[in-house]
C-alpha cells in the first residue's frame, strides 16, 4: 500500500497508540476528583498541556484541549463573535476556507453578523492590502487559514498579523490544521490570537485537538457544564487523548526538523512527473507546503481514477476529505479562476514524512499509466 492522503488523516504513530492505551488503562481517574487516582490523572493532563505549550513556545495557560479542528474553529469564531458582539458585528475571512469555518460564518450571518469574504489570486493567495481595505469600525475578527487544505498554498499569516497590530480591537484567528509541523510558525511573532490544530493531521488520534488562545482573550464557551478547561470547554477531560496528542506533536516537530528537506525533494519529484504528463495541470503554487500537491487530469472522472488507483494499492484523494463524497467542484480552484471543466477533474496528493522516494516513483509510474489507460477507454 502507498498511502498519499495524509491531509485527510495520518496514520497514528505506534508510540502514540501505546501512550494512549497505557494512560487509559492505568490513569483512568477523573482529573476533577480529589482522591489519588483523580490527582494522578490531573498531573498527566497538566504535563501534557505544558509539553504542548513548550513545543509551541507559549504559556500552558494558553492551551485548550478540544476534539479536533472543527470544534476548535467553532470555539474560536463563535466564542469571540458572541463575546464581543456589542463592540461590532463585522468579520473578515476568505473564500477558500474549510467548511468548519465557512459553515460557522453562515451561522453567524444568520445571527446578524456581516461577513466579508476575501478573494484569492490565481495562485490561491489572499492580499494583505485587500484585508486592510475591508476593515471597518465594527470589525472584530479576522479568520484566515494558514495552509489551504486543497492546494497547500501558505497564506501571508505573518504579514496579516503585523497589519492587525494596528487594530488592537480586532482578533486574529488562524486555522492551522494543515500547517502545524509542515511550515514555520511563531504564534508570538506572527501576532496570532487564536490558532486551531487537529491531532489526527500530525499522526495523533482522531477526536483530539488543540486551541491556542492568547492569554487575556475572553471567549464565550460553546458548552455549559462543569467548567473544565478554565470554563472554556466543559466536560470531563480526555486525559489519554491529551497525553497522546502531546507525544504526537513532539514527534511531528522532530520529523519537521529532521525530514523536511526530504519531503521537499519528494514534492519536486512529484511536480516534475505531473508536469511531464499530457493533459495534467498542476494547481499548487511552487512556494507552498511540500506535503500537498493538487493537480487536474483533464477529462478523467475523479471517482474512476481514485478507484482504479486503489485497486493497485495507491491511495490519494479528490478535494478535501470532508467534501470528497459530495461530488462538488472544488470551491478553492474555482476561486483561483480555474475553469470548471478542469477543476472538476482535480486530485490531491498529500505526503507524510514517512514516505520514501521508491514508493513515490512507483506511484507516479502507476498514475501516469492509469490516466493514459482511462483516457483510452473513454475515447473508444
Active-site positions read: 322
Q: What is the rounded CA–CA span in Å between residue 154 and residue 64?
A: 25
Q: What is the rounded CA–CA span in Å between residue 85 and residue 94?
A: 21
DSSP character for 61?
G
Alpha-carbon Rg for the chain in angstroms: 21
Q: What is the rounded CA–CA span in Å between residue 366 and residue 380?
A: 21
List the 346-350 sheet strands across, edge first: 280-282, 292-297, 346-350
Q: What are phi and psi of 180, to 5 degrees?
A: -60, 125
Report yes or no: 33 and 173 within 8 Å, Cβ to Cβ. no
In angstroms, how far is CA 32 from the centroid of its own chain? Answer: 31
Task: Name the grid cell of 165.
Answer: 497590530
Q: HSE (CB half, 13 Å, CA atoms) of 362?
A: 14
CB atoms within 10 A of CB 87: 12
Task: Name the grid cell of 9.
Answer: 488523516
SS3 142: strand
Q: HSE (CB half, 13 Å, CA atoms) of 378?
A: 12
SS3 105: helix
Give CA separation, 339 vs 118, 308, 334, in Å.
20, 25, 7
> Element (H or E) spanning 257, and its range?
helix 239-275
List the 114-118 sheet strands across, edge first: 63-66, 209-213, 194-198, 171-175, 139-145, 90-94, 114-118
Q: What are phi and psi of 92, to 5 degrees?
A: -120, 130
Amino acid at each position: 500500500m502507498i498511502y498519499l492522503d495524509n491531509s485527510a488523516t495520518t496514520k497514528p504513530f505506534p508510540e502514540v497508540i501505546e501512550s494512549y492505551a497505557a494512560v487509559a488503562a492505568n490513569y483512568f481517574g477523573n482529573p476533577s476528583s480529589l482522591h489519588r487516582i483523580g490527582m494522578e490523572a490531573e498531573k498527566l493532563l497538566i504535563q501534557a498541556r505544558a509539553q504542548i505549550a513548550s513545543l509551541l513556545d507559549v504559556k500552558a495557560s494558553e492551551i485548550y484541549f478540544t476534539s479536533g479542528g472543527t470544534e476548535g474553529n467553532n470555539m474560536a469564531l463563535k466564542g469571540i463573535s458572541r463575546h464581543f458582539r456589542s463592540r461590532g458585528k463585522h468579520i473578515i475571512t476568505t473564500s477558500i476556507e474549510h467548511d468548519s469555518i465557512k459553515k460557522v460564518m453562515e451561522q453567524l450571518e444568520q445571527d446578524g453578523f456581516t461577513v466579508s469574504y476575501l478573494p484569492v489570486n490565481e495562485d490561491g493567495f489572499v492580499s494583505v492590502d485587500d484585508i486592510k481595505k475591508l476593515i471597518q469600525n465594527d470589525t472584530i475578527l479576522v479568520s484566515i487559514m494558514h495552509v489551504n487544505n486543497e492546494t497547500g498554498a501558505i497564506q501571508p499569516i505573518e504579514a496579516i498579523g503585523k497589519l492587525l497590530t494596528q487594530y488592537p480591537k480586532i482578533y486574529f484567528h488562524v486555522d492551522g490544521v494543515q500547517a502545524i509541523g509542515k511550515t514555520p510558525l511563531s504564534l508570538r511573532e506572527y501576532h496570532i490570537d487564536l490558532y486551531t490544530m487537529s491531532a489526527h493531521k500530525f499522526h495523533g488520534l482522531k477526536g483530539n485537538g488543540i486551541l491556542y488562545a492568547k492569554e487575556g482573550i475572553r471567549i464565550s464557551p460553546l458548552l455549559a457544564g462543569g467548567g473544565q478547561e478554565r470554563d472554556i470547554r466543559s466536560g470531563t477531560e480526555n486525559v489519554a487523548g491529551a497525553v497522546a496528542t502531546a507525544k504526537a506533536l513532539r514527534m511531528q516537530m522532530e520529523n519537521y526538523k529532521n525530514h523536511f528537506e526530504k519531503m521537499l525533494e519528494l514534492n519536486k519529484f512529484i511536480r516534475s512527473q505531473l508536469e511531464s504528463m499530457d493533459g495534467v495541470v498542476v494547481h499548487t503554487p511552487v512556494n507552498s507546503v511540500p506535503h500537498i500537491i493538487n493537480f487536474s487530469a483533464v477529462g478523467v472522472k475523479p471517482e474512476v481514477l481514485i478507484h482504479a488507483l486503489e485497486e493497485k494499492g495507491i491511495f490519494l484523494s479528490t478535494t478535501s476529505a470532508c467534501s470528497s463524497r459530495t461530488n462538488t467542484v472544488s470551491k478553492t480552484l474555482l476561486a483561483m479562476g480555474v475553469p470548471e471543466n478542469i477543476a472538476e477533474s482535480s486530485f490531491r496528493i498529500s505526503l507524510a514524512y514517512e514516505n520514501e522516494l521508491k514508493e513515490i516513483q512507483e506511484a507516479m509510474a502507476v498514475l501516469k499509466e492509469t490516466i493514459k489507460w482511462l483516457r483510452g477507454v473513454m475515447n473508444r
